[in-house]
Amino acid sequence: MDFRLNDEQEMLRQMVADFADQILAPEVMKRDREGTFPHAEIAHAGELGLLGMIVPEEWGGAGLDTVSYAVALMEIARVCPSSAVTLSVSNSVCAYPIWRYGNDEQKERYLRPLATGKIIGGFCLTEAQAGSDATNQKTRAVRQGDHYVLNGTKVWVTNAHVGKVFIVMAVTDPQAARGGISAFIVTPDMPGFSFSAKEEKMGLRASCTSSVVLDDCLVPVANLLGHEGDGMRIPLNALDGGRIGIAAQAVGIAVGAHEEAVKYALERTAFGKPIAQHQAIAFQIADCATEIDAARLLTLRAASRRDEDHDRAGPEAAMAKLYASEMCNRVAYKAVQIHGGYGYSRDYAVERFYRDARVTSLYEGTSEVQRIVISRAVLAG
Ligand SMILES: Cc1cc2nc3c(=O)[nH]c(=O)nc-3n(C[C@H](O)[C@H](O)[C@H](O)COP(=O)(O)OP(=O)(O)OC[C@H]3O[C@@H](n4cnc5c(N)ncnc54)[C@H](O)[C@@H]3O)c2cc1C
C-alpha cells in the first residue's frame, strides 16, 4: 500500500497550492468581510482546468481522477473555503451528472462551457421541507408539449446568482414510489426562473447562496437529464462525489487553521517561553495534526474507491465527510483557543476558518445523514 501521491497528482497539488497562495490569498479576508464573490479568481481557476477537473478531456475537462480532484480542493480550501465550495459544487454535482447522465447534445451545450471554465453551475435539490428528507420534494414538473412547466422553490442553492446552469430535481409523477422525481438542466434565462435575495451566512461569506424560484418555469423537454423518474438516482450518485469534495474542503480548512495555530504558538510567548513549549498547547497541536492526517487518508481512500467504481463509494464518501467535517470543527476550535483572545478578532484568519468550518457538517448531508448511510452499509453486512 502506497500512501504517496503519484508524480502527476503531486504536480497538480503544487500547481493548485501556488494558485491558492498567489491568486486566492491576497484578498481572502477582504472578500469575507465584504461578502464579495471571487469572480476574477474563479475565472482564473477555470483557465487552469479547475472547473472541469473530473470531466474527460473530450468534453473540455482536465480528465483528472477523483484523488487529484480531492487533493486540489484541499489546497483551495486551505486558503479560501468559499472558493472551494464554489468549485466543488460546480464540478461534483453539476458538471459530473451532466457528463454521467446527459446525452451528447446536452454535453456539448452545457458540459463543455462548464468544463472549460466559461461558466459555473449549481445543484437544486433542497426545499424548505426537503433537506435531509430529500425525497419529500414539492417542486412539480408537468409536461406540456415540448416543455416541462416547473413550479416550486429550491432553497440554499450554492452558486445562485453567479451560476449559469443548474441541475434541478422535480416531481414528474406524484403517484410513483420514492416521489417519481426527475432531474432537469435549467438555466436562469428560462422564463419563470428567478433568484431570491442572497443568504446572509455565518461563514463562506464569499460564496453566493440563495433560493431559486420556479414560477411556471418553461424547461425544454430536451433538458430532461436521463429519464423521467431517474431523479434520486442522479442526485444521490452525484452527492457521493460531492461528499468527497466537502470532505476535502474540510481537510483544507483544518490545514489552514492548524498552520495558523502552529505559527502563532511558536511566536506568542507566555510565562517566559513560546506557548508551543507549554505541553497543553503542544498536545493540542499533536492531536490536530493526527486528526487532519486521519481525515486526509479517509478522504483519499473514498476518492480512490470512487475511481474504482463510481457507483460503490457511498459509504466511504460518507465516512470521509462525517469524520473530516467534524474534525475540521474541532481543529478550528482549537486554533482559536491557541490564539487566545486574538482568535476572536476578525484580524486573524482562524476566526474566519472557525466560521467557515461550521457548515461542513451540515451541507451535502448532515453528520446524522452520513451516520444513516454508514450504519445501513455496516448493518447490511
Ligand atoms: C451554505 C449552504 C449551502 C448549501 N448548498 C446547497 C446546494 O447547493 N444545493 C442544495 O440542494 N442544498 C444545499 N444546501 C442545503 C443542505 O444540503 C441542507 O441544509 C442539509 O441537507 C440539511 O437539510 P435541512 O437544512 O433542511 O435540515 P433538516 O433536514 O431539517 O435537519 C435538521 C436536523 O435534524 C437532523 N435530522 C433530520 N433527519 C434526521 C434523521 N432521520 N435522523 C437523525 N437526525 C435527523 C439533521 O441531521 C439536522 O441536525 C446548502 C446548505 C447550506 C447551509
Using one digit for the tens of pLDDT, what is the confidence trace for 173-194?
Answer: 999 877 799 999 999 999 999 9
DSSP characters for 186-219? Answer: E-TTSTTEEE-PPP--SS-TTS-EEEEEEEEEEE
Q: Is 126 in the pocket of ligand 1 (CB under 6 A)?
A: yes
| 368 CA closest ligand 1 atom index | 47
What is the span of the domain harbouring residue 332? 233-380
Mean pLDDT on 89-95: 97
Q: What is the pLDDT of residues 262-304, one digit of tens each?
A: 999 999 999 999 999 999 999 999 999 999 999 999 999 999 9
Q: Which of 86, 356, 362 to mutate to test the pocket of ligand 1 (most atoms within 8 A of CB)?
A: 362
Give distance in angstroms: CA of 306 to centre of ligand 1: 24
pLDDT grade for 203, boundaries at 50, 70 and 90? very high
The answer to whether residues 225 and 378 touch, using CB atoms and an 8 Å cutoff, is no
Q: Which three-class secondary structure state does DSSP give residue 130?
A: strand
The answer to whether residues 182 and 231 touch, using CB atoms and an 8 Å cutoff, is yes
d(CA 276, CA 283): 9
Mean pLDDT on 242-259: 98
What does the block give as the cell for 249?
Answer: 474542503
Same domain, 194 and 57: no
Q: Which three-class secondary structure state does DSSP give residue 38?
A: coil
Q: Is 358 in the pocket of ligand 1 (CB under 6 A)?
A: no
Amino acid at 157: V
So what's the pLDDT on residue 315? Answer: 97
Amino acid at 18: D
| 132 CA closest ligand 1 atom index | 29
Reduce the secondary structure of 269-328 to three states and give it as a string. Answer: EECCEEHHHCHHHHHHHHHHHHHHHHHHHHHHHHHHHHHHCCCCCHHHHHHHHHHHHHHH
Same domain, 204 and 263: no
In sequence order, the β-bridge partners of residue 150 are: 141, 217
Residue count (the chain): 381
Same domain, 249 and 204: no
Same domain, 301 and 372: yes
Residue with cell 448511510: 373
Residue with cell 463509494: 313
Of 61, 96, 120, the residue at which a domain comes to its end is: 120
- Angle at 371 (CA atoms; ends 365, 372), nearest 5 degrees: 85
Give distance in angstroms: CA of 211 to centre of ligand 1: 14
Same domain, 22 and 108: yes
Q: Which residues of 142-158 are buried (b: 16+ CB within 10 A; e: fewer)?
A: eeeeebbbbbbbbbbbb
What does the block give as the cell for 229?
Answer: 423518474
| 129 CA closest ligand 1 atom index | 26
Considering the chain, what is the average pLDDT of its residues? 97
So what's the pLDDT on residue 1? Answer: 83
Same domain, 90 and 205: no
Same domain, 20 and 128: no
Mean pLDDT on 38-62: 98
- For the domain that residue 292 is a member of, what is the CATH number? 1.20.140.10
- The whole-angstrom distance between residue 309's C-alpha and the CA centroid of its chain comes to 20
User: Does residue 368 carry a catalytic annotation?
Assistant: no
Q: Which of 82, 83, 86, 126 to mutate to test the pocket of ligand 1 (most atoms within 8 A of CB)?
A: 126
Q: Is 122 in the pocket of ligand 1 (CB under 6 A)?
A: yes
Lowest mean pLDDT among 175-179, 343-347, 349-353, 367-371: 175-179
Q: Is 364 in the pocket of ligand 1 (CB under 6 A)?
A: yes
Give distance in angstroms: CA of 362 to centre of ligand 1: 6
| 235 CA closest ligand 1 atom index | 11
Please report whether residue 38 resides in a domain: yes
d(CA 72, CA 5): 12
Q: How many CB atoms lie within 10 A of CB 118?
A: 14
Of 191, 225, 259, the residue at which a domain comes to its end is: 225
Residue nearest to atom 45 of ligand 1 (CA): 368
d(CA 13, CA 120): 22
d(CA 201, CA 324): 21
Q: Is 192 in the pocket of ligand 1 (CB under 6 A)?
A: no
Q: Is 201 in the pocket of ligand 1 (CB under 6 A)?
A: yes
pLDDT grade for 2, boundaries at 50, 70 and 90? confident
Q: Which of 157, 366, 374, 376 to mutate to test the pocket of ligand 1 (most atoms within 8 A of CB)?
A: 366
> Is the pLDDT confidence value at 127 over 90?
yes
Q: pTM of whole model > 0.85? A: yes
Residue nearest to atom 16 of ligand 1 (CA): 363
Of 187, 202, 225, the residue at which a domain comes to its end is: 225
Same domain, 365 and 246: yes
Residue with cell 461528499: 243
In sequence order, the β-bridge partners of residue 124 are: 168
Q: Is 172 in the pocket of ligand 1 (CB under 6 A)?
A: no
Q: Which of 58, 105, 364, 368 is catalytic?
A: 364
Same domain, 274 and 365: yes
pLDDT grade for 381, boundaries at 50, 70 and 90? confident
d(CA 228, CA 140): 13
Please report whether residue 203 resides in a domain: yes
Q: How many CB atoms lie within 10 A of CB 43?
A: 13
d(CA 16, CA 278): 35
Q: Is 157 in the pocket of ligand 1 (CB under 6 A)?
A: yes
Q: Is 31 in the pocket of ligand 1 (CB under 6 A)?
A: no
| 359 CA closest ligand 1 atom index | 53
Q: Is 136 in the pocket of ligand 1 (CB under 6 A)?
A: no
Same domain, 88 and 200: no
DSSP characters for 161-193? Answer: TT-SEEEEEEES-TTSGGGGEEEEEE-TTSTTE
